[in-house]
Structure 1
Amino acid sequence: MAPLMPQAPHKDDLNETWMFLENGINNVMVKLEEGVDMKNYMALYTAVHNFCTSHKAVSGHALQSQRGGSSKSPSAPDAPHKTTQNQLTGNPAHLLGEELYKKLGEYLSRHLEWVYNESTGHTEEALLSFYIREWQRYTTAAKYINHLFRYLNRHWVKREIDEGKKNVYDVYTQHLVKWKEDFFLKVHEKVMGAVLKLVEKQRNGETIEQSQIKSIVDSFVSLGLDETDPTKSTLEIYRYYFQRPFLDATRVYYEDESRQFVADNSVVEYMKKAEIRLEEEKARVGLYLNNDISKDLTNTCLDVLVTAHSELLRDEFQPLLDNERQDDLARMYRLLSRIKEGLDPLRTKFEAHVRKAGLSAVEKVAAEGDSFEPKMYVDALLSVHTRYHSLVKEAFNGESEFVRSLDNACREFVNRNKICKSGSTKTPELLAKYTDSLLKKGSKAAEESELEEMLVQIMTAFKYIEDKDVFQKFYSKMLAKRLVHVSSVSDDAETSMISKLKEACGFEYTNKLQRMFQDIQISKDLNKNYEAWLPTTLLDEEERKKIVDSHFQILGTGFWPLSAPSTSFLAPPEIVKTSEKFEQFYYGKHSGRKLTWLWQLCKGEIKANYIKSTKVPYTFQVSTYQMGILLLFNESDTLTYSDLQKATSLSPEILDPNLSILLKAKVLTISPEGTKPKPGSTFSLNYNFKNKKIKVNLNIQIKSEQKVETDDTHKTIEEDRKLLLQSAIVRIMKSRKKMKHVQLVQEVIHQVKSRFPPQVPDIKKNIEALMEKDYIERLDGDEIAYIA
């Protein structure tokens, strides 16, 4: 600003005042970079103040007034001044602010016309540079000028706005309104055209001056004014003049690019390109766009880049799945997850694919015939789950709906496949047998951590089986044998498995299993007491010799899934005395109880002292039935089939398989040679018996016994299901009193489905059975009532 200014105007003269102000304002507007002289600046400020407080000036004509006193000091323009009588009586003094306001508006229009004329000589990036430079000069000057007219803002402008006058703003906002009306509306199309060309260059890989676009965006945002409240700003100008054309141009650009790219490249390459473009646009918001555009820009890009090509992407899903292209599947998931219902068809395809893979894996096991081990079957199921669980986690971000699709597929092929056909319960049976092999001594899982991991895998398969009651029955029978034969790999492993089952199915599911463990512990204490008691009852050395080393287990009838022996059996005299002694001890402690000897579960060891070819005699590990057979040969080297049957009282179904095991191990020989045990056969001790091991295990379960045991288990399951259905029906009817038949069936299904999937005909049969027992009765209208 020039250091000298014309003499201060007469405060009552509008034209003189304006000429003085215009000269100073013009210096601020066009020469601000030269600096501001504070003395001149305060003179301008004082001129505005003096004119606004004058009470004789009207429409540019100076009226005579008393000059007594002086106006407010320039050094303190905001000090309170004395209100004149004219202002209080309604003289035209209130128009003074308006005249000055109009003069300023006219000046700004003239200035902006000059700016517009200058802009016509610039295009594209040069136009942007000109626009930004002038905008910054203009808005900076506006702040200074706004301060010069602060008195006008605080009084006249405020009063006009308070009275609801339209198109009146504070002086800074007046600058913005004028910029918009007299310059912006004339050039915005050219400016946006230049901006869009810059953005297109950047999208094409060229380097641009991003700060230019940022400055343009800021200016568009600054021009947003709330018509109802001038003190507030809106984004309407930015949204209409910048955001709308920007989004339209973005759509056109990516429609052209994606169409061409898809025609020339693979779907996988297109997905990579689409991801890069989406990331670029996201970054663009942070670099130079307003955050308000973020959602609309993302939606526009997704619409063009993903939704428009979604069918093409989905068609590629199956080939990627077949080839397990995890990274590309993850990319497809990320893209389609961002559009509405983008993943639904993929989930359906994924579920079908996993089901097919599971059925195929089981078919390979089934091709082995009946010789396959439970481990092969369970491993086949788990391998499919593990593979696709990993895929869901890594490629599909563990998304719950994909997890559900995986679960649906696994549940289907686990319960219905070539080995476990519809209506069959083979899967839970094989799973229980595999679990038994893991928890038995000799399990290949040597490390405790490895065994724990395998048990976790077992529970994964268990989660999918529908017939959980079948697993429970087989598992409890096998657990009983492990506990009775002391063949568990460890108590910790057993406890861990039961804990997992309890967590999955509740306390009732594992209650009997836990009681079995309690019985084993009680039996340990009982044996200690027996060992302390026994010596006090033996009369002499001869009687002491008749007692063999023994260990007894007392198993509660209600908790152990064990049945009485299927054959009569005359125990060898060598163990009768011992068993009688224990009975004497037990009944002395527990009167009123009854012991039933489960000979089929008993076992022992006998020494083969008759074989002289070894320094250390062989020890045979045998079942009690085998012991009963072999001890007979202490009296004779050769015995007939009828001798053995009479002495042991074993039924042929039990005697024959046990003799076969002894023959196969060459402990006994048969005459005639090569025949199977039958009436008329003769058996002899083999004095030439040889074996690599000193301890020879002859206690091998017979296949026929296994089959009978399995069949018995299935019969037990059927009976238990019948009872479970009937108890559910009674429980429901007791609480509801009356119920429609269809509703009752549905409620029963709901209550028992966690144990097994009930069949409607079975439920109806049990409803009829309960009617016959007078628990419930049929009423009119297919309604059923509870009989109290």
Structure 2
Amino acid sequence: MAINERKTIDLEQGWEFMQKGITKLKNILEGLQEPQFSSEDYMMLYTTIYNMCTQKPPHDYSQQLYDKYRESFEEYITSTVLPSLREKHDEFMLRELVKRWANHKVMVRWLSRFFHYLDRYFIARRSLPPLNEVGLTCFRDLVYQELNGKVRDAVISLIDQEREGEQIDRALLKNVLDIFVEIGMGQMHYYENDFEAAMLKDTAAYYFRKASNWILDDSCPDYMLKAEECLKREKDRVSHYLHSSSEPKLLEKVQHELLSVYATQLLEKEHSGCHALLRDDKVEDLSRMFRLFSKIPRGLDPVSGIFKQHVTSEGTALVKQAEDAASNKKADKKDVVGLQEQVFVRKVIELHDKYLAYVNDCFQNHTLFHKALKEAFEVFCNKGVAGSSSAELLATFCDNILKKGGSEKLSDEAIEETLEKVVKLLAYISDKDLFAEFYRKKLARRLLFDKSANDDHERSILTKLKQQCGGQFTSKMEGMVTDLTLARENQTSFEEYLNNNPNANPGIDLTVTVLTTGFWPSYKSFDLNLPAEMVKCVEVFREFYQIKTKHRKLTWIYSLGTCNLIGKFEQKIMELIVTTYQASALLLFNSSDRLSYSEIMTQLNLTDDDVVRLLHSLSCAKYKILNKEPNTKIISPTDHFEFNSKFTDKMRRIKIPLPPVDEKKKVIEDVDKDRRYAIDASIVRIMKSRKVLGHQQLVMECVEQLGRMFKPDFKAIKKRIEDLITRDYLERDKENPNLFRYLA
């Protein structure tokens, strides 16, 4: 059977046929009337190439066709495209370029289809650039290389017109800039080197001119508004026509010219800079300042510095105000401590609320501003007022809130909220141990004299303190609160015991609060000579308590006791609420009409100080239950006293106060003693683990360990080290006296 021989196509005639197709394509692109390609036309062109590439050598024209493919583009660009571009300028040239580039891509797409067979075999085998790439390269080498400078300048000029508020054709710009990107065929270097670099330079120059005028004429808030608006517009520009990769570089240029260059001048503008904005509570402007300056390198440092300065001076002003008020009061001889300090702590809390809100809202919770706030508060929170340390003021403030009839009438929510805030302030105070001791003393008084307004609040603040300062800080205080609950149960079982043993009843109502020694502040227990009536009470309770527990020793603290006495006066019978000391003194007058100072002192077995306080409260103060000879305001060892049977008062029941002893000195001494132990323990702990350590290192680690409770004084640490050396815990190195060794 015969094989159908395919007729060989020679190059001339084959190319002539292809040329007709290419000319038709160019005419369509030029907008001339041509019928569209039908699928038959397309198949014919494709098959011609296929045949010309699959003929046996020497009739395989693959290489020649590959060259002619490129020449078709070069010829079209040189004869038609370039002349049409060279005669146009500015925006018209840009429009023409966009049109020509779009046409060129269409032409590449069609021709690559006609010549597709080349791509599949010939190009793959020879690793030549694919047809698509050849087409684009022609445009790049002939059109782009010649015109990119003119195009770049035209685009930048339009961008500057837009910056000045003129309307421009953004879509056109987008299309032009896409050419810079597409010409790179996946690489960005044409866009970056031929357009972006110059555009960024122009942007910097543009904003340099603007900023140098604005900084002279505008207030800081106005300038910031403009800067923010400019940044917003540049961002907008990127989203409309620049490539997205330009955004960070563009904004960086604008931020540099508008903000970095003028940062100091802006922040320190006399009537409108950062100080003024803080002073006038310009929250929106401050938020804007944060937004803008957070974008530039280290831009927030000066802002947070000014914030810290501002808060410090506001706080220091409060301290001075409180000092002045206190010294005026001293001059008036009125109650010096008390209300004024309450007001001061309140104001500090308000100040903290205000600026914490700034940190959270204006400064978006940024750590730099939290740090600034903390450092500012640490400055003035540790100053103290009128001889009272801030630790004491805070403890007194809490006491006023938590005790019955305190100076503040607050709802439960308000109390909770205030306590929360006090604990926050405590974080800034370096002597937390001093606060703890003052707080404990006051807590003890509230609990023992039934002055506490609400158990829930007492427990609640302890929980807050525990979270802030750790369990060790509150363990004794929690013990005190628990002790009272146990003491109430104990009292109930004592009353049951008396009901069941009527013979034991001492004939006086007796309430005893049993406390655990370790939890409570140490109280002086004197051997007061109790009146006989009371001695019976003590014995009865001791018998009851020994049934309950054999191994506990009871120590009686009469200085904390109270007594209700019935006084029979000429006018009427009255009930007197007094301390155990006062009661013991008054009961002496049941068996004597007149007693001298020294007789009272001997019979009660008390110290001079206590006797003076006692007799003063009964004979020289508001209620004169005793008459004193001579009738002066001062108690002397030569005085004599008689029961004042003529005493009367409109009330049936009166409380005779005993002036409180100033415990401040004692608290400070106790805390100092505890600190010595704490420093010793810390040094030993460190040396035990390190064995050998230099002086500097040891002091630093010691400060680090103890810093949560108090700021140890370097001198104190040095003294403790010396002491530990004499007690053979440490020794100095023979060679280097600054080096210590741990002695196990």
The alignment's TM-score, normalised by the length of structure 1, stands at 0.85
Per the TM alignment, residue 690 of structure 1 is displaced from its structure 2 partner at its CA by: 3.1
Per the TM alignment, residue 343 of structure 1 is displaced from its structure 2 partner at its CA by: 2.2
Q: How far apart are the structure 2 equivalents of 1:11 and 1:677?
A: 143
Q: How far apart are the structure 1 equivalents of 2:19 and 2:257?
A: 54
Deviations 1:141-163 (A, max 9, x none): 321222111111111222232xx
SS of 2:427 mapped into structure 1? helix
SS of 1:664 mapped into structure 2? coil
1:132 aligns with 2:98: yes
Find the counterpart in structure 2 of residue 364 from structure 1. 321
Per the TM alignment, residue 489 of structure 1 is displaced from its structure 2 partner at its CA by: 2.0
Per the TM alignment, residue 654 of structure 1 is displaced from its structure 2 partner at its CA by: 2.3
Corresponding residue pairs, total: 714
CA contact (8 A) 1:498 1:510 kept: yes
Per the TM alignment, residue 135 of structure 1 is displaced from its structure 2 partner at its CA by: 1.9
CA contact (8 A) 2:564 2:576 kept: yes
Q: How far apart are the structure 2 equivalents of 1:127 and 1:687?
A: 119
Find the counterpart in structure 2 of residue 477 from structure 1. 441
1:279 to 1:771, Cα distance in 2 relative to 1, 3 A = same
1:578 aligns with 2:578: no
Find the partner of 1:402 among 343, 365, 369.
369
Letter in 2 for 1:44: L
Per the TM alignment, residue 657 of structure 1 is displaced from its structure 2 partner at its CA by: 2.9
Find the counterpart in structure 1 of residue 197 from structure 2. 244
1:43 to 1:359, Cα distance in 2 relative to 1, 3 A = same
1:668 to 1:677, Cα distance in 2 relative to 1, 3 A = farther
Per the TM alignment, residue 695 of structure 1 is displaced from its structure 2 partner at its CA by: 4.9
Find the counterpart in structure 1 of residue 180 from structure 2. 220
Find the partner of 2:226 among 273, 278, 284.
273
CA contact (8 A) 1:516 1:560 kept: yes
List aligned pairs for 1:687-702, cutoff 5 A.
Answer: 687=646, 689-691=648-650, 695-699=653-657, 702=659
Find the counterpart in structure 1 of residue 686 from structure 2. 732
List aligned pairs for 1:517-528, cutoff 5 A.
Answer: 517-528=481-492
1:419 to 1:336, Cα distance in 2 relative to 1, 3 A = farther
1:731 to 1:309, Cα distance in 2 relative to 1, 3 A = closer
Deviations 1:151-188 (A, max 9, x none): 11111222232xxxxxx432222221111112122222
SS of 1:739 mapped into structure 2? strand
Letter in 2 for 1:578: C
Find the counterpart in structure 2 of residue 456 from structure 1. 420
SS of 2:535 mapped into structure 1? helix
Per the TM alignment, residue 581 of structure 1 is displaced from its structure 2 partner at its CA by: 0.8
Per the TM alignment, residue 14 of structure 1 is displaced from its structure 2 partner at its CA by: 2.1
Find the counterpart in structure 2 of residue 184 from structure 1. 144
Letter in 2 for 1:129: R
CA contact (8 A) 2:731 2:741 kept: yes
CA contact (8 A) 1:445 1:451 kept: no
1:28 aligns with 2:25: yes
Q: How far apart are the structure 1 equivalents of 2:197 and 2:88?
A: 24
SS of 1:139 mapped into structure 2? helix
Find the partner of 2:75 among 82, 97, 110.
110
Deviations 1:564-599 (A, max 9, x none): 23x552334443322221111112332243212111
1:331 aligns with 2:288: yes
Find the counterpart in structure 1 of residue 15 from structure 2. 18
Q: How far apart are the structure 2 equivalents of 1:475 and 1:643?
A: 39
Find the counterpart in structure 1 of residue 85 from structure 2. 119
Find the counterpart in structure 1 of residue 3 from structure 2. none
Per the TM alignment, residue 646 of structure 1 is displaced from its structure 2 partner at its CA by: 5.1
Deviations 1:239-297 (A, max 9, x none): 22222222222222222222233233223211110111111111221222211112211
Per the TM alignment, residue 358 of structure 1 is displaced from its structure 2 partner at its CA by: 1.7
Q: How far apart are the structure 1 equivalents of 2:447 and 2:570?
A: 33
List aligned pairs for 1:656-675, cutoff 5 A.
Answer: 656-662=612-618, 663-668=620-625, 670-671=627-628, 672-673=630-631, 675=633
TM-align CA RMSD: 2.7
Deviations 1:185-213 (A, max 9, x none): 22223322332233223222233222111
Q: How far apart are the structure 2 equivalents of 1:606 and 1:18?
A: 134
Find the partner of 1:552 among 509, 512, 524.
512
Find the counterpart in structure 2 of residue 494 from structure 1. 458
Letter in 1 for 2:583: M
CA contact (8 A) 1:439 1:494 kept: yes
CA contact (8 A) 2:399 2:442 kept: yes
Deviations 1:294-317 (A, max 9, x none): 221121111222122222223233
1:612 to 1:146, Cα distance in 2 relative to 1, 3 A = farther
1:44 to 1:508, Cα distance in 2 relative to 1, 3 A = same
Per the TM alignment, residue 635 of structure 1 is displaced from its structure 2 partner at its CA by: 6.0
Q: How far apart are the structure 2 equivalents of 1:410 and 1:10?
A: 99
Find the counterpart in structure 2 of residue 228 from structure 1. none
Deviations 1:110-147 (A, max 9, x none): 22221221123332222222222222222123212221
1:284 aligns with 2:233: no
Find the counterpart in structure 2 of residue 355 from structure 1. 312
Q: How far apart are the structure 2 equivalents of 1:619 and 1:201?
A: 96
Per the TM alignment, residue 631 of structure 1 is displaced from its structure 2 partner at its CA by: 4.3
Q: How far apart are the structure 1 equivalents of 2:15 and 2:642?
A: 139
1:313 aligns with 2:276: no
1:345 aligns with 2:302: yes
Letter in 1 for 2:694: K
Find the counterpart in structure 1 of residue 38 from structure 2. 37
List aligned pairs for 1:352-751, cutoff 5 A.
Answer: 352-368=309-325, 369=327, 371-373=336-338, 374-416=341-383, 419=386, 426-443=389-406, 444-539=408-503, 544=505, 546-565=506-525, 568-607=527-566, 610=569, 619-632=575-588, 641=597, 644-645=600-601, 647-662=603-618, 663-668=620-625, 670-671=627-628, 672-673=630-631, 675-678=633-636, 679-685=638-644, 687=646, 689-691=648-650, 695-699=653-657, 702-703=659-660, 705-706=661-662, 709-751=663-705
Per the TM alignment, residue 473 of structure 1 is displaced from its structure 2 partner at its CA by: 1.4
Q: How far apart are the structure 2 equivalents of 1:451 and 1:356?
A: 28
Per the TM alignment, residue 558 of structure 1 is displaced from its structure 2 partner at its CA by: 2.1
Letter in 1 for 2:343: M
Q: How far apart are the structure 2 equivalents of 1:293 and 1:611?
A: 102
Q: How far apart are the structure 1 equivalents of 2:107 and 2:570?
A: 121
Deviations 1:449-503 (A, max 9, x none): 1111111111122101111111121112222222222222222211122222222
Deviations 1:321-351 (A, max 9, x none): 3333332222222222211122223333332
Per the TM alignment, residue 92 of structure 1 is displaced from its structure 2 partner at its CA by: 6.9
Find the counterpart in structure 2 of residue 786 from structure 1. 742
Q: Which moved more, 1:367-376 or 1:592-601?
A: 367-376
Find the counterpart in structure 2 of residue 71 from structure 1. none
Q: How far apart are the structure 2 equivalents of 1:291 and 1:637?
A: 104
Find the partner of 2:116 among 123, 137, 150.
150
Find the counterpart in structure 2 of residue 202 from structure 1. 162
1:263 to 1:349, Cα distance in 2 relative to 1, 3 A = closer
Letter in 2 for 1:54: Q
Q: How far apart are the structure 1 equivalents of 2:59 and 2:47?
A: 21
Letter in 1 for 2:358: L
Q: How far apart are the structure 2 equivalents of 1:306 and 1:458?
A: 40
1:766 to 1:288, Cα distance in 2 relative to 1, 3 A = same
Structure 2's unaligned 5+ residue stretches are 1-5, 331-335
Per the TM alignment, residue 372 of structure 1 is displaced from its structure 2 partner at its CA by: 4.1
The alignment's TM-score, normalised by the length of structure 2, stands at 0.89
SS of 2:519 mapped into structure 1? coil
Letter in 1 for 2:724: L
CA contact (8 A) 2:183 2:190 kept: yes
Per the TM alignment, residue 684 of structure 1 is displaced from its structure 2 partner at its CA by: 4.3
